[in-house]
Amino acid sequence: MRKLWIGTGIEGFDRIINDKFSDEFEPFIVSYAMGFEMIHGQHGDVAIISEMLGTENALGLEPNVVYLRVINHLRKQGVRVCFFGTETDQDKDFIKELVSRGVYDILFSDDMSYGEVFHLVEAPNSYAEVSHWFDNAKSPQNQTRKRISLSLHEHVEEVEEITEKQKVSTQNKSFFSWSNKRKTRDSNEVSVNKIQPKIILVSGLPGTGSSFISLNLAVSLSSKYNTAFVEASERPILSSWMGWSGGEDSVIKLAKGQPVERRRMISESLRAYNADQDLDTSIINVEALIQASRRLEYDYIIIDIPFVQFVKIKADYKVLVSNSDLAKCRRVSSVKSSLVVLNMTPKRLPVDLAEYQSFWPNTPLVTCPFLEDQSLSIVLGRPLSLRVNSEKEKFQRWLSSMSISI
C-alpha cells in the first residue's frame, strides 16, 4: 500500500488529512521538518509539507533551506511532494527551487481550503501548470476557491466560483481555513475604518522575568484573539527559549516602519517579532515601535520593553512585573500600571498579598510561582513548551482582571 506522510504543522489538519486518505494510503504524521529525512519511501508515495511545519533546531539552518534539504531527500526516493503555504511575502526564488526539484504540486494562498489541499494529492500537476513561476506570468485567473473558517467543529462552507466576469456563491457544510479568518498581514498604512490593535506593554526590573510573563500572556490571548508578541526588552531571549536558530531583524524593521518579510509563527494565531540575542535594544525607538505596531492587523499586541521606557510611555494596558523582594517592590511602587505580577514567588512558603498590595493599593495584584519551565529555559537553554501550559488558566484570569474578555 502506498504511504502518505503528513506534515502541515497544524495538528487538527493533520488528522483530517489522515482520515481523508486512510483508505487509499497508509498515512503517517510528521511533527517536524527534519523528521522527513528519516523516511524511506518509493515511487507512488506522497509527502505533504507546509511552511507552518516547525524547522527549529534544524542545525541552525534557515527554514527554506531545511525544506529544500528534506525535499531533496524525498525526491531522490521518488516520493511526490505537495507543498503549501501563505501567499503574502512569499519568496519567488524559493518557489522556483521547488519546481526545479520536481515539486509541481504547490499551493500558496492566504485563504485556502481543505479541498484545495486534498486536490494537490488527488490530481498531480504537471510542469506546464507551474512553469509560470519561471516566466513571471501570473497564475491562471479562472479557478474555484473555498473560503472557510478556522474552527474544526461545525461550520458552513461558502464556495466561490471565480471567473473573469462573474462570481457564483453556493452553500455547503463542514470545512477549514488556513487564514484564521483574520489575516496577519503587515501594512504601512491604516485605513480609515480599520480597528487598531490594543497594545499591552510589559516590563520590570532586570531579573524579574518580564519576558516569560509577557510571552505567556501572549499565548493566553492567542487562544481567543489574533495576537502578536514583539520583543524589545533589554535582554532578548526569545530565540533561545523557543529553540530558534538565531535572531531576526524584524523588531528593527518594525520600529523603522519598514515591511517585515518574516515573522516567527508560535501558533496559528500568534506571531512573534523577535530580536537577535546580541541586539542592543537601546537603539530602538520604543514610541515609534508602538506606533508602527498599531498599523498591524492583530487584535492584541504584547510588547516586552525596557523598564526605563515602560515608566514614561502610555499604552492601552501596562503590566508591571516584579518579584517578591520587598525592596524591589518598594522601588517600583510609584509606577502606574493596569496589572502587577509578583513573579517567581515561593511555591511552599505563603505570600501575604496584603503586604504587597500596600505598594499598589488601586491596581490588581497577582502572583506567579517559580515555574520549572522558566528556570530550565534560563539555565539550560531548553526550549519552552507552550502547547501544554499548566498555568494557562492563571494567565487568563490575569487578563480578565484587566477587563480583557478571554
Say whether both 99 and 223 belong to one domain: no
- The stretch 105-131 carries a mean pLDDT of 85
Domain boundary among 90, 106, 138: 138
Please check whether residue 162 lies inside any domain of the structure: no
Please check whether residue 361 lies inside any domain of the structure: yes
Note the helical H segments in 123-179. 132-135
Q: What is the pTM of this model?
A: 0.54
Asked if pLDDT for residue 288 goes beyond 90, the answer is yes
Please check whether residue 185 lies inside any domain of the structure: no
Asked if pLDDT for residue 169 goes beyond 70, the answer is no
For all residues of the chain together, what is the average pLDDT?
76
Asked if pLDDT for residue 79 goes beyond 90, the answer is yes
pLDDT at 98: 92
Say whether both 124 and 205 belong to one domain: no
pLDDT at 331: 93
Give the number of other Cβ atoms within 10 Å of residue 142's Cβ.
8
Residue 251's pLDDT band (cuts 50, 70, 90): confident
Say whether both 99 and 212 belong to one domain: no
Asked if pLDDT for residue 157 goes beyond 90, the answer is no
pLDDT at 178: 44
Asked if pLDDT for residue 176 goes beyond 70, the answer is no
Say whether both 105 and 224 belong to one domain: no
pLDDT at 376: 57
Say whether both 281 and 379 belong to one domain: yes
pLDDT at 223: 81
Say whether both 216 and 128 belong to one domain: no
- The stretch 151-168 carries a mean pLDDT of 32
pLDDT over 70 for what percent of the chain?
Answer: 71
Please check whether residue 250 lies inside any domain of the structure: yes
Please check whether residue 181 lies inside any domain of the structure: no
Tally of domains within the chain: 2
DSSP 167-221: EEEEEEE---BSS-SS-----SS--TTPPPPEEEEEEESTTS-HHHHHHHHHHHH
* Most confident segment among 67-76, 82-91, 131-140: 67-76
The domain in which residue 125 lies consists of 3-138
Asked if pLDDT for residue 16 goes beyond 60, the answer is yes
pLDDT at 377: 55
Give the least confident one: 49-53, 130-134, 169-173: 169-173
User: DSSP 3-state assignment of 274?
Assistant: coil
Please check whether residue 157 lies inside any domain of the structure: no
Residue 8 belongs to domain with CATH number: 3.40.50.2300
pLDDT over 90 for what percent of the chain?
Answer: 27
Say whether both 314 and 226 belong to one domain: yes
Please check whether residue 156 lies inside any domain of the structure: no
Residue 347 belongs to domain with CATH number: 3.40.50.300
Domain boundary among 121, 138, 155: 138
Instruction: Report the run of H or E that residue 341 belongs to, with start and end.
Output: strand 339-345
pLDDT at 186: 41
Say whether both 132 and 221 belong to one domain: no
Say whether both 132 and 205 belong to one domain: no
pLDDT at 24: 92
Domain boundary among 138, 157, 177: 138
* Most confident segment among 103-112, 179-188, 203-212: 203-212
* Most confident segment among 211-225, 237-251, 323-337: 323-337
pLDDT at 134: 72
- Per-residue pLDDT of 17-46, as tens digits, reads 999 999 999 999 887 787 888 888 888 899
Say whether both 220 and 348 belong to one domain: yes
DSSP conformational letter for 244: -
- The stretch 180-190 carries a mean pLDDT of 38
Pairwise CA distance, residues 122 & 70, whole Å:
22
Please check whether residue 294 lies inside any domain of the structure: yes
Instruction: Please name the residue that has the C-alpha cell 482582571.
Output: 401
Say whether both 134 and 212 belong to one domain: no
pLDDT at 399: 74
Instruction: Please name the residue that has the C-alpha cell 483508505.
Output: 23
DSSP conformational letter for 290: H
Residue 163's pLDDT band (cuts 50, 70, 90): very low
Say whether both 358 and 233 belong to one domain: yes
Which residue in 345, 307, 308 sits closest to 323, CA to CA? 345
Instruction: Report the run of H or E that residue 18 belongs to, with start and end.
Output: helix 11-20
- Size (the chain), residues: 406
